[in-house]
Structure 1
Amino acid sequence: MPIVWEAIGASILPNIGGWAATPFTIKATKSWYKTLNRPPWAPPDWAFGPVWTVLYTAMGFASYLVWRDGGGFTGRGRTALALYIAQLILNWAWAPIFFGLHSIGGGLIDIVLLYGTAGVASIAMFRINRTAGYLMVPYMLWLSLATALNYYIWRNNPSTEEQDFPLEP
């Protein structure tokens, strides 16, 4: 079976943003993040790296399947791929916003936009290739957890809430 370099590249691509955000995440996780009121159901810090690696790789492979079966950016897969890229950019932006800027509210805005965009992208991908759509399901489940976690932290850390969403202009 020949190596399909496009599949390998597509599977690695989403991880690049995760790797780029690692310095923000590690620095904040060791200091600022530990001071926040977090829910008792929050996953342990060590779980995020391995989970995101698997999810990024799966969504990257899903994008390859859509690219392959949908005719790339010039075929019927162009909308699904454009939505995929949009949600990937929002995904990559979250860690620098939340951990880098310590902006819990900004992270919440980003992740809500991400959740909606990823959901629409997943549906569009499913219409091109069912396996691609199914590969996005674990990602959507994890985004549900991540969104709830971000909301809980925003709601239960009022000092940062006021900085992110001032009551008066």
Structure 2
Amino acid sequence: MSVNWEAVGATFLPHVGGYLNGLIVRPQLHKWYKDLKKPSWCPPNAAFPVAWTTLYTGMGYASYLVWRDGEGFDGDARLPLALYASQLALNWTWSPIFFHFHSFKWSTVNITILWGNVAACMYFFWKISKPAGLLMVPYLGWLSLAAALNYRIWVDNPPKENPEISTKEK
């Protein structure tokens, strides 16, 4: 039995950034994130690694299908794979923006752009491989929930007033 290393590599690639982001996120869950006001519909913390593992696997394999069926980077797959790469970069940058820099505003901007990028990616994946397009649907659904959650956290957790700045401005 021969191993399809292209499929394995494409499927594994998104997990690299996910794993590295996990190193950023984990310490913040018990320090900073736990004290944020979150809506009642916020999934439990345990759901996030399961969801992202599943989503990264699906999107990675979808990228392989597009690469294979769209004749690689020199064929029709060029634009869809460029969209895929850019959405993956946006995806990987969201966690540091939110969890490390604690920026609700910029993480909301990031995830909004990411959502549009994934929608475009899904559309162009679908044109080359219907299964690849369908594999992106759960990802877009989860991003919709994540974007709403990000925005709700931003609205419900206004920045605390910094006494030093207040004193200087008076």
TM class by shorter chain equals over 0.9
Match of 1:2 in 2: 2
- Two-structure CA RMSD over aligned residues (Å): 1.2
Structure 1 counterpart of 2:168: none
Secondary structure of the residue that 2:72 maps to in structure 1? coil
1:39-118 matches, within 5 Å, as: 39-118=39-118
| Distance of 1:111 and 1:50 partners within structure 2 | 20
**Structure with the greater alpha carbon radius of gyration:** 2
- The TM-score with structure 1 as length reference comes to 0.93
- 1:35 Cα deviation from its structure 2 partner: 1.3
Aligned residue pairs total 161
Match of residue 166 from structure 1: none
CA distance in 2, matches of 1:94, 1:159: 19
Other-structure match for 1:21: 21
Q: 2 CA distance for matches of 1:45 and 1:88?
A: 22
Q: Distance in 1 between matches of 2:3 and 2:126?
A: 24
Percent of pairs with identical residues: 50
In structure 1, distance between residues paired with 2:78 and 2:2? 26
Unmatched 5+ residue regions in structure 1?
163-169
- Deviation (angstroms), 1:158: 1.2
The Cα of 1:2 is off from its aligned counterpart by 2.9
Instruction: Return the letter of the residue paired with 1:99.
Output: F
Measure the CA separation in 2 of the matches of 1:46 and 1:106. Answer: 25
Corresponding residue for 2:167?
none
Q: Which runs of 4+ in 1 moved over 4 A?
A: none
| Cα deviation, residue 159, structure 1 | 1.3
Q: Counterparts of 1:117 and 1:53 in 2: how far apart (Å)?
A: 20
3-state SS of the aligned residue for 2:74?
Answer: coil
